[in-house]
Amino acid sequence: MFNQIDLRKLAEMSSPDRAFLSIYLSEPDSLAKLEQKLTTVGNILKSNKDEYEQFRENANMVMDYLEKDPFESGSLVIFSCWLLNYLQAYPIEVKVKDLIRVDSSPYIKPIAELQDEYENFAVVVADNNRARIFLVASSVVQDEEQVKGNVKNHVKVGGWSQQRYERRRDKELHLYAKEIIETLAEFDKEKEFNKIILVGGQEIIQAIENALPSHLKEQLVGDRVIDLNRGDNYVNQEIFELFFEEEDKEGVRLWQTIKNQYMRGELGVVGINDVLKAAREGRIERGIVNRNAEIKGFRCRECEGLFIRKTDVCPKCGSSDIFEVDMVNEIVELLLETSADMEFVDGIEELKEAGDIAALLRY
């Protein structure tokens, strides 16, 4: 489960030079070209003897691992550092892009994107006859609970009998919703999630929402009335569609908050320079970045200084021994060290105009 990968621990691992090899394999067929790609990367690094030696040792560790533990399904991520005698491989349930990255730390940005995009969430699928409550973790359905309902259909009997029937029916619906909520509350104690989605029949969804206690209502991010008789494939498609719609809305809401704070000169910063400064100071509560943003930075091998503009010498120590880094990955690492979040969003044009990256500050 990629949501169980400890990115903070990975972010704390670093080297003064590019001693880490990060490999992302989209599928087992990617192995066919891996060795050739590693050879090409090695040839590029030959001008730096130490980096080249470290890279070759890293590559050998990876190939030895793949020989002993065959990669046969799904996607796979491998981090290797020969200097630290470190190798860790993570099976990934959703498809990742093929990638090879040599850097001073594990390249965790793609996993951070996945963890942001596929947060653990609880789903209640209910009609008047039956309710299912389950956890979706790393896009995989887990740990299902069920509640039986027996809410009678509407009938026309007339007069006082009709009113008594409807009162009994309302009571049944209320008790059924209450039982669902009690089961969900127990689920909340046992499982790790902070978002809830409701789908199914209109009556029971409304009854659940009306009866939700405040701590669960705060976790409710969306609901949708759907016909459960159309089958599990249809229901699952609707669930994930609703979840990603709400994720997109959350990103837009975060950007609006940051933008408003920035325009008032308060707790919003935009652009890589101000975001980097705030991240170094541990002042960021939540960051936001366009998913396809490419923001380059540079690191000095001598003093490990990190800076934005490319220069011939390090502005901190004067060394000319510098190399290029992915600044989004660097910012993600800084945020993890201070328990802050990064929200990856798709194509917010205003954010792009502001430099593709921004943040909401703690103070």
Taking 50 as the threshold, does the pLDDT of residue 96 lie above it? yes
pLDDT of residue 16: 82
Q: What is the CATH number of domain 250-363?
A: 3.30.1330.30
At the top level of CATH, which class does the domain 1-112 belong to? alpha beta
Question: In a 10 Å sphere around its CB, with 0-12 CB exposed, 13-18 middle and 19+ buried, how is residue 68 labelled?
Answer: exposed
Share of the chain above pLDDT 70, in %: 95
pLDDT in tens, 151-173: 655 545 444 565 665 677 788 88
Q: Where in the chain is the domain with CATH 3.30.1330.30?
A: 250-363
**CA angle at 24 for the pair 19 and 30, rounded to the nearest 5°:** 125
- Rounded Cα distance between 54 and 81, Å, is 8
**Mean pLDDT of all residues in 174-188:** 92
pLDDT level of residue 143 (50, 70, 90 thresholds) = low
Supply the DSSP string of 209-253, one letter for each residue: HHH--HHHHTTEEEEEE--GGG-HHHHHHHHHHHHHHHHHHHHHH
Task: Report CA 349 to chain centroid distance, whole Å.
Answer: 21
**Mean pLDDT of all residues in 44-64:** 95
Position with higher pLDDT, 156 vs 79: 79
- Rounded Cα distance between 47 and 103, Å, is 16
pLDDT of residue 153: 58
Which CATH superfamily does the domain covering 119-230 fall into? eRF1 domain 2 (3.30.420.60)
Distances (CA, A) of 5 to 31, 90, 262, 265, 336: 23, 8, 33, 37, 13
pLDDT of residue 330: 96
Position with higher pLDDT, 150 vs 39: 39
pLDDT of residue 155: 43
Give, as one character, the DSSP assignment of residue 28.
Answer: G
pLDDT of residue 167: 75
Please give the mean pLDDT across all residues of the chain: 91
Q: Where in the chain is the domain with CATH 3.30.420.60?
A: 119-230
Q: Helix (H, G, I), strand (E, B), or coil: what is residue 57?
A: helix
Residue 169, token pair as written in the block: 């029916």
- Beta-carbon contacts of residue 146 (< 8 Å; ≥ 6 apart): 130, 131, 132, 133
- Going through the chain in order, the beta strands assigned E by DSSP cover 20-25, 75-81, 86-92, 99-103, 121-126, 130-137, 140-148, 196-200, 220-225, 268-270, 284-290, 296-300, 306-307, 322-326, 341-345, 357-361
- Rounded Cα distance between 349 and 124, Å, is 34
**Mean pLDDT of all residues in 112-131:** 92
- Rounded Cα distance between 139 and 44, Å, is 37
pLDDT in tens, 260-276: 999 999 999 999 999 99
Position with higher pLDDT, 157 vs 73: 73
- Rounded Cα distance between 60 and 54, Å, is 10
pLDDT level of residue 149 (50, 70, 90 thresholds) = confident
- Rounded Cα distance between 133 and 184, Å, is 7
pLDDT level of residue 139 (50, 70, 90 thresholds) = confident
Taking 70 as the threshold, does the pLDDT of residue 194 lie above it? yes
- Rounded Cα distance between 204 and 206, Å, is 5
